[in-house]
Amino acid sequence: MSLHWALICHGLITLTIVVSFLCGQWRIFQGTPISSIHRFLSFGAYQYFLRFIGAVFGDRGTNLILSVEYYCCDRPNPILQLIYLAIIGTTYYIIVKTSFSYIPGYYLSEAHRYASFLAIAVGILLFLVTSFSDPGTVKADNVSRYLSAYPYDNIIYTEKECPTCKIPKPARSKHCSLCNRCVARFDHHCGWMNNCIGERNTRYFLAFLLWHFLLCIYGTIAIGLVLAGRLKELQIVHVLTVYYGVDNSLRSLAPYVVQTFKWQDYISWQKNLIEARASTAALKANIAGMTTEGKPQESKCKSFFRRSLLQDTEAIVKKNVYDKGFFHNLYEVVFPVSTRASFLHTKSKSG
């Protein structure tokens, strides 16, 4: 019975960590321990670490840590790529040395020896493909095609020129200061990949995140079943594995989520603006009613059927020209515009 309870506790702790990382910022978890754990693991732990370094080594220690952070995260270099490979390689080596002696076992067959290697290999392959693939660089010879593929909405994206590349900026594109290039449908610059995530490689990046999330689940179940007797020792290794995989996914996805909900922020701002205008109009109407007592009042029937200013928000939502439906947007991610025959045909005609 104690073994079963140990497995249950192990699963609950891992599930809490995963949910906290992935969903801790959701509104449903605001004010709950899930939100607190998310803040601590994503931001608080690092801040406490900086305070500890400052208390022990002073400003020199803190500045050294910040310099390392700047070098690793704010400029292109392969350090984080090597760290990723080191973490994956070391973790798999530890698992082989400590767990493979228990395979085959009562719960798992010998096939999991090869399945685990295949799972790691696929993850590394997706990592390499994402790292060294073209994110969708916008150049002078293809900018006209990207301009036709991604039209301006004149709300969030307007016609302008990149001051660095000296070419027009297509809608949803951005100039990456780290890579010094404009990227179509720019999402973010990923330090772990040492590459931008854009129109052409977002599909590989999302596949990488999904695969590593499934890899964490697979590792949780396998380690919990095979090495239950040594759970206390191996839980440390496992939690570090989950921490790396999920935290990397969250930090990489954060800019993507920010850009995804940029339109929602704009709509919210517009709603607040319209509500403020409606309140101002109502206040003016009340003041006008007090100063013009002899003026006939508007009939209740006409006032009821008069269009409310808040109804204008529906028109704002409909103006999102980039929201083409879930499946169509997903199709654009899996099959980017620049890889389609129509785009290549336009290239040959323009050339």
Catalytic positions, please?
Answer: 190
Structure tokens at 302: 């006409």
Residue 199, number of CB atoms within 10 A of its CB: 29
Please give the single-letter amino acid code of residue 163: P
Structure tokens at 79: 């350090």
Structure tokens at 261: 């909900």
- Residues with Cβ within 8 Å of residue 68, at least 6 apart in sequence: none
Nearest-CA neighbor of 223 among 235, 215, 214, 212?
A: 235
Side by side, the strands of the sheet bearing 174-176 are 137-138, 181-183, 174-176
Q: How many CA atoms lie within 13 A of 180 on its CB side?
A: 2
Residue 237, number of CB atoms within 10 A of its CB: 18
Cα pseudo-dihedral 271, 277, 281, 282, rounded to 10: 50
Structure tokens at 270: 């517009």
Structure tokens at 63: 């500045």
Please give the single-letter amino acid code of residue 114: Y
Nearest-CA neighbor of 73 among 173, 181, 188?
A: 188
- Residues with Cβ within 8 Å of residue 306, at least 6 apart in sequence: none
